[in-house]
Structure 1
Amino acid sequence: MTYPPEPWYLEGRLYLSVWLTPRHESAGILPPGVRPVTLAGRALVGTAWAVYEGDGVLRYREVLRAILVRRRCRPLVTITGIWVDSEESRAGGRALWGVPKEPAVFTVTGRDRFSARARAAHGRECAARFRALTRTSLRLPVAFRVAQIREGRLHITPVRCRGRIRPARASWDLGALGQGGGPRRPRPLLSLLYEDARMLFGDVPPHPVPGNRARGDG
């Protein structure tokens, strides 16, 4: 399976929720060398639905679960579960960055009132509903690094994104995606809609890669 070289330029919208879960529930699912960032003894966990469309190098949908971690004093993000509906994205994510993408079938409707369901192998499912709480948005650039195991070693990948953020209300049924931390129907601490997002995922090569757009670095 062929896939675009890094970095991937992606356009779309993301629906994000964050909540706290007991720290011990993250034991055994994080890469060696990183520890969960905690607040009052609880780990910070996030989930997101992404709808990548527009003029990016790939168009697909995904849902993921991630944990905020640290390596010594450096904050990072580790993705512990992620489903996608693109074989190119699945193959590229695993090969380039060690992101454990699995194939799934998605049903997605709406924008400000967003509803999504994903079904992976063996009947595993997860679902969520989001409702934007205001039309007013704030432009917010975001930069972070993802820590995964690739070829037996810790691999750190930079991510840069810019877009407009709005508060939202969300309800989730994480199902199998929530295994390893968090209740099946968690109550998010915070939910957001991140729209008109332009994301650059991966290292930028020292020289331009023909056919790959290096835009979106905010």
Structure 2
Amino acid sequence: MTYPPEPWYLEGRLYLSVWLMPRRGLAAALPPEVRPVSLAGRALLGTAWAVYEGDGVLRYREVLRAVLVRRRCRPLVTITGIWVDSEVSRAGGRALWGVPKESAAFTVRGRDRFSARAGRGQVCAARFRALTRASPRVPVAFRVAQIRAGRLHISPVRGRGRIRLAHASWELGALGPGGGTGRHRPLLSLVCEDARLLFGEGPRHPEPGGRPCAEP
């Protein structure tokens, strides 16, 4: 299947929640060269929902689970579960970066409620409510560590977005560690509007109007 070369320039809205989760059984889902970062003896885990639209290289939706890890003293992120509604994104994510994308069907209600299903099972459902006004554009930058072709592959992610604090409630379903079910409340939740991201190695992508997509 043909997919865009890296880096992928993506525009849209992001919804993120951060959790403290037990470390038990987590290492099996991580590359062997990284270790989970601990806070009070627990791992920091993030769940995120994204709607990519606008002038990005692809338009699709995704939901993911990621763990904050370290390689020696270097902080990284490892994606341990991710579902998308684009076969092009699925193929490209796996081939370019070793991101383990699976296919799912998504239902979006307004701008703050969504759910995802894979086969006959629920991946997750969530509802967000922004609590603050949108901030000025905030830079973001991190690196994603995955196994690609049997080796550790580290990919940069950088961009900007207007971040707001939010209240969120989730039904984690298959998105939870070990596929746990039930309703959960996260430690912190954010909404990132007007997000513009660059995923992978390569030159900066121009924003609409000829302005560069600035790196932080």
Give me the TM-score of the superposition, normalised by structure 1. 0.91
What residue identity is the alignment partner of 1:125? V
Structure 1 unmatched ranges of 5 or more: 207-213
Deviation at 1:185, TM superposition (A): 2.6
Could you tell me which of 154, 159, 162 is aligned with 1:161?
Answer: 159
Give the letter aligned to residue 16 of structure 1: L
Matching residue's letter, 2:80? T
Q: CA deviation at 1:217?
A: 3.1
Residue 146 of structure 1: SS of its match in structure 2? strand
**For the structure 1 residues 143 and 9, does the alpha-carbon distance in structure 2 shift closer, same or farther, using more than 3 Å as the test?**
same
Give 2:139's aligned residue.
Answer: 141
What percentage of residue pairs aligned between the two structures are identical?
Answer: 78
Give the counterpart letter for 1:51 in structure 2.
V
Length-normalised TM-score, structure 2: 0.92
Alpha-carbon displacement from aligned partner over 1:23-73 (angstroms, at most 9, x marks no partner): 124131111110000001000000000000000000000000000000000
Q: Distance in 1 between matches of 2:181 and 2:190?
A: 20
Moved over 6 A (4+): none
Task: Check 1:182–1:72 CA distance in 2 against 1; reply closer, same or farther (3 A cut).
Answer: farther
CA RMSD in angstroms comes to 2.0
Residues in 1 aligned to 2:182 and 2:176: alpha-carbon distance in whole angstroms? 6
Structure 1 residue 62 corresponds to structure 2 residue 90: no
Amino acid paired to 1:195: E
Structure ranking higher on relative contact order (CA contacts 8 Å, 6+ apart): 1
> Matches of 2:182 and 2:98 in 1, distance apart?
26
Match of 1:95 in 2: 95
Mapped to 2, the partners of 1:160 and 1:62 lie a distance apart of 18
Counterpart position of 1:197: 195
- Paired with 1:12 and 1:160, the residues of 2 have a C-alpha distance of 14
SS in 1 for 2:29: coil
Partner Cα distance (2:156, 2:187) in 1: 26
Matched pairs, number: 211
